[in-house]
A and B are shown apart, each in its own frame.
Chain A
Amino acid sequence: MEENIIKKYQDELNELIEYINDLFNFLPIPTCDLSPTFCIIQVNKAFEKLTDFDSLEITGESIEKLFLEKEKIKKIISLLQKEQELQNQELVLIKKNGEKIIVNTFWATRIKKEEIEGFLLAFIDITLLKKIQKEMEKEIKVKTRDLREKIIELEKFQKIAVGRELKMIELKNEIKQLREELEKLKSK
């Protein structure tokens, strides 16, 4: 009887392990599991694909190895001791071949019975997005400069146009005055 219960729990545990494994590896977002000392414990397939690191190479390494900004990582580590979640932390990730990519990172602390059991880290490659953003900013800068030049031209034109208008009024007044003077002379 007891053996049957143990077997039942074992089967359920096996199913659960397989389910978690499948789900973890299906996730298209690079994700990894970190120990309380910030060592990489497990990575999913998307992680391997993006970083080019095989799970055998990167597991057991400190998370600091993966990122360029060591001080920023230290700050995140310190923040995670207080906060349970940190979102949108932009960092530069160094791939296996040395290529640097910009990633938006998401961190979560795993706490059980008020003790930190580890951390979860997921990140999205935003290098392309950042490139587009930079190009857009550059384009906006050029367009703004063009617009400013156009405004200056327009202002110049307005100045000229208004000046011409004022001259016309002045001339009209002069004609009117001369006409009046002529009329006066005729009547004499």
Chain B
Amino acid sequence: MEKNYLTREKNYLTKEEAAKILTIPGNVKGTIILTNLEYLKKKGGEEALKKLKERIKELEIPIDLENVKHANMYPEAISVLIILLIKEILNLNENDIFEMGGAAMKLSPVTKILTKFFLSFEVVLKKASEYWKEYFDFGELEIVDYDKEKKYTIIRLKGYKFHPLLCIYHAGYFYQVAKMALGSPKIIVKETKCTFRGDPFDEFYFSWE
């Protein structure tokens, strides 16, 4: 999955960009932030975490990383900024961001509770909207099409517009959910619609073998 909104040349987040993102409303569970920090530690060690704390201070992002709790709600804008800073610190490309989205699914202890739905892909799709609401107090996740025979599904994410990089992150997350629920077959994911391209929502097309 390739998107060219954020290239390597434009790798540093500015104070102005951060301030703009911070104005976007909506909250997310702390477990997402914690799993992203876990990913950062796994890939870059304690040194990378230290850099992240420095950048957070520099950009005046209102978060104390030492006190983030799994079940508490935090502004999604902060979570997004942390992802952008992790990208900056680890010098991640879009494939890495996709992997990082999948890692959020893999590393979160709260997410594990939801794997009880992973009885079949149908159950996961039926519960998708519920699943989204477990984490976010805004936006909506919708399954608009599912064909078991032709092996594809279309997922729509409405009311979410923070940064184009998050489309890749979400695709990685959904991909990992699908992989676990389908029992690891070959899955193809494409973003067919995007709010950053003028569409009213983000849309992801999944097919599998």
Contacts and interface: CB of A to CB of B under 8 A. Distances in A.
B81 interface: no
Contacts of B110: 17
B42 interface: yes
Contacts of A56: 39, 42, 103, 106-107
B106 A33 contact: no
A117 B71 contact: no
B109 A60 contact: no
Contact of B112 (A14, A36, A42): A42
A39 interface: yes
A17 B119 CA distance: 24
A55 B106 contact: yes
B71 A14 contact: yes
Which among B39, B103, B105, B183 has the greatest number of chain A C-beta atoms within 10 A?
B183
Interface string A38-68: 1101100000000000111001111000000
Given A39-B180, A41-B180, A59 B106 contact: yes
A118 B72 CA distance: 26
B197 interface: no
A21 B71 CA distance: 14
Given A37-B118, A37-B119, A60 B102 contact: yes
Contacts of B105: 60
A20 interface: yes
Contacts of B102: 60
B72 A10 contact: yes
B57 interface: no
Contacts of A38: 183
Interface residue tally of chain A, by bracket? 20 to 34
Main secondary structure of the interface of A (DSSP, over half): mixed
A112 B117 CA distance: 12
Contacts of A17: 70-71, 109-110
A35 interface: yes
A37 B70 contact: no
B93 interface: no
A136 interface: no
Contacts of A11: 69
Nearest to B102: A60
B186 interface: no
B192 interface: no
A36 B181 CA distance: 9
A35 B70 contact: no
Contacts of B184: 39, 60-62
Nearest to A57: B106
B115 interface: yes
A17 B70 CA distance: 8
Given A13-B71, A60-B102, A118 B109 contact: no
Given A35-B118, A37-B181, A56-B107, 13 more contacts: A33-B115, A35-B180, A36-B116, A37-B183, A38-B183, A39-B118, A39-B183, A56-B106, A60-B102, A60-B105, A62-B183, A117-B116, A118-B116
